[in-house]
A and B are shown apart, each in its own frame.
Chain A
């Protein structure tokens, strides 16, 4: 009898605990960062949301970046979509067209002091269709040159930031400097493509900046751009750098910039958090210019709310909170803002703990002038169709023209 009573008492207690939990809401948000510094900042923003909604907690769920879109898709397909998520630019069109994302425009515009018009129009292009707002960019991050100052000094060369200040940081100079760096640092390279993945998952990120510097694009308006004269010049120059000058880390080799094996690489400002432990002097400079003038490339990521979510109204409010002027300014140390007021602010240029003001100015300029990587609903298919042709391109004895034509022949049907 005692045991039965005890059992009833415990069950009742458990029930009470459950029901009080039901009153509080937990939002689940998927992100691809596992960085402690990033998560600390995000949790701080979630805590400050409690002033408006004391019962709402936000749980950030890290999904590794390489599988991010795939895992997110399966969560959605399995009926277990998160309430809100970071979304990559290349995935955004597919999710928008599938009708999975909530129109958060009304919530944002109704939020006091939000100032929706403060977001730069080019930065919103990917996330807005007419009056419908599918997301808010939280990171509008230009591609920059990271350089190893010590390797430049060793080779007796001016660094890219100094060259850029003089207006001499061009594609030709980039080639010349890379070659000298490789010669001065035997066993190392002048340049490494983004994340060392330039021949694989980041093949378009490797080719896009030089192609834009020459005035071309990888594709636009449904037309392949690789075989246009500007792009061909850019690709040939890169090919020479890899196989003639031997100044770019070639396919099949590993020459990690962050461990000091390459003098330069291309990456975004969020990687500055990784530089703290690199153990060498470093700097950030704009991408080299070319005949096409300045051509900054921007990688973007947005915040979205899933339409199927149970707490979507609260989730939309959380996005409004997260992208308020104050919080955008807080996030700006890692994730460059799309808010004009923050971008122009003194705090953005001077307030970064990792990157000095003279370099942050370059970042701000690049955001103002930059264009995002071309997006496409069928981005994964396009990349897969390109991959074998790009493999054929990156060989010492490749027929570069034929390989480029092959790339266009492979992707044109998908575009």
Chain B
């Protein structure tokens, strides 16, 4: 009894704010629910059928989400690891540099997107003016579908890389220095030390980072909302934003819930695959 009382604050919160809504979404996904008239009709799997088989928008949106993830995850992880390797050892000013790279993580996502939108203007934008100085005529970043996707990926990476950098720094600092010293005595090069010692020992961290970054990239919303609104020409219309559009702009709560369920399954499967790959690698 006492034990239950002790866990009750978090258990009740979990039930009300997590499990309850999660079950509700499963039910909503099988209804056609008009938010304004408050009329919900049970339609079975029709919403799923509509999304997966009938609506061409859905696959376009999934494709955009996959491109976003494929662009963001490797770039983010490579940059995070590079920064962590550079900043894991103490040197004069290291705290300053860590702070600089971590600061965007705690910056408001909307403020971040507004500033970048300003910098990425067509002709008058700071980025293009800098490029013009070195003789490059920059594109109208946020108005060309492909460039817009590249722009949201890169600005998102710069925003979030600090978090992964900190995780890598922590992992690097947990690796005993003796290993490296011993390897150096044996005449190993820096690349060999990294490849044979550091990289394998970082594997658990790499897995975690990969999983959370992939999940995060599928859930990206605020960034897209503010920078491109899913445009131009639906070029950055990703899954989370599409769900928002269906649910909160068109008020198709049932359809939006079905899309959210599909997103949940996609993310879960990706996570399982990543964990399995890691196990296989460990064997």
| A254 & B34 in contact (Cβ 8 Å cutoff) | no
Cβ-based interface call for B116 (8 A):
no
Q: Which residues of B contact A (CB under 8 A)?
A: 34-38, 118, 120-125, 140-143, 229-234, 245, 248-251
Chain B nearest CB from A94 CB (Å) reads 6
| A380 & B36 in contact (Cβ 8 Å cutoff) | no
| A251 & B122 in contact (Cβ 8 Å cutoff) | yes
A95 to B143, CA, bound (A): 34
List 24 A–B pairs whose Cβ atoms lie within 8 Å, in order of A's numbering: A73-B251, A76-B35, A77-B35, A95-B36, A98-B37, A100-B37, A250-B123, A251-B140, A251-B143, A251-B232, A252-B125, A252-B141, A252-B142, A254-B121, A380-B249, A384-B250, A387-B229, A387-B231, A387-B234, A388-B232, A388-B233, A391-B231, A391-B232, A395-B143
Cβ-based interface call for A359 (8 A):
no
Chain A residues near B124 (CB, 8 Å)?
A: 187, 253-254
Chain B residues near A77 (CB, 8 Å)?
A: 35-36, 38
In the complex, number of A-B residue pairs with CB atoms less than 8 Å apart: 64
**Contact code string A195-213 (vs B, CB < 8 Å = 1, else 0):** 0000010000000000000
Chain A residues near B140 (CB, 8 Å)?
A: 251-252
| A100 & B36 in contact (Cβ 8 Å cutoff) | yes
Chain A residues near B142 (CB, 8 Å)?
A: 252
Partner of A99, one of B37, B121, B125: B37
Query: What are the 6 closest A-B residue pairs judged by CB atoms, nearest first?
Result: A98-B36, A252-B122, A391-B232, A388-B233, A252-B143, A98-B37
Closest to A76 in B: B36
Chain A residues near B234 (CB, 8 Å)?
A: 387-388
Cβ-based interface call for A350 (8 A):
no
Q: Which residues of A contact B (CB under 8 A)?
A: 70, 73-74, 76-77, 94-95, 98-100, 187, 200, 250-254, 380-381, 384, 387-388, 391-392, 394-395
A252 to B250, CA, bound (A): 26
Chain A residues near B123 (CB, 8 Å)?
A: 250, 253
| A250 & B36 in contact (Cβ 8 Å cutoff) | no
> Which of B38, B118, B141 has the largest number of chain A CB atoms within 10 A?
B38
A99 to B125, CA, bound (A): 48
A391 to B147, CA, bound (A): 14
A63 to B197, CA, bound (A): 57
| A388 & B36 in contact (Cβ 8 Å cutoff) | no
Chain A nearest CB from B37 CB (Å) reads 4
Closest to B120 in A: A252
- Contact A384-B249, Cβ < 8 Å, known A99-B37, A254-B124: yes
A100 to B251, CA, bound (A): 15
Chain B nearest CB from A92 CB (Å) reads 12
A70 to B244, CA, bound (A): 11
| B233 & A254 in contact (Cβ 8 Å cutoff) | no
Chain B residues near A100 (CB, 8 Å)?
A: 36-37
- Contact A253-B232, Cβ < 8 Å, known A95-B36, A384-B245: no
Closest to A254 in B: B121
Chain A nearest CB from B259 CB (Å) reads 15
Closest to B230 in A: A387
A265 to B124, CA, bound (A): 19
| A73 & B35 in contact (Cβ 8 Å cutoff) | yes
| B249 & A70 in contact (Cβ 8 Å cutoff) | yes
Chain B residues near A388 (CB, 8 Å)?
A: 231-234
A200 to B121, CA, bound (A): 15
Chain B nearest CB from A409 CB (Å) reads 13
Partner of A391, one of B34, B36, B121, B143: B143
Partner of B121, one of A73, A252, A381, A394: A252
| B122 & A250 in contact (Cβ 8 Å cutoff) | yes
Closest to A70 in B: B248
A261 to B167, CA, bound (A): 46
Partner of B229, one of A98, A200, A250, A392: A200
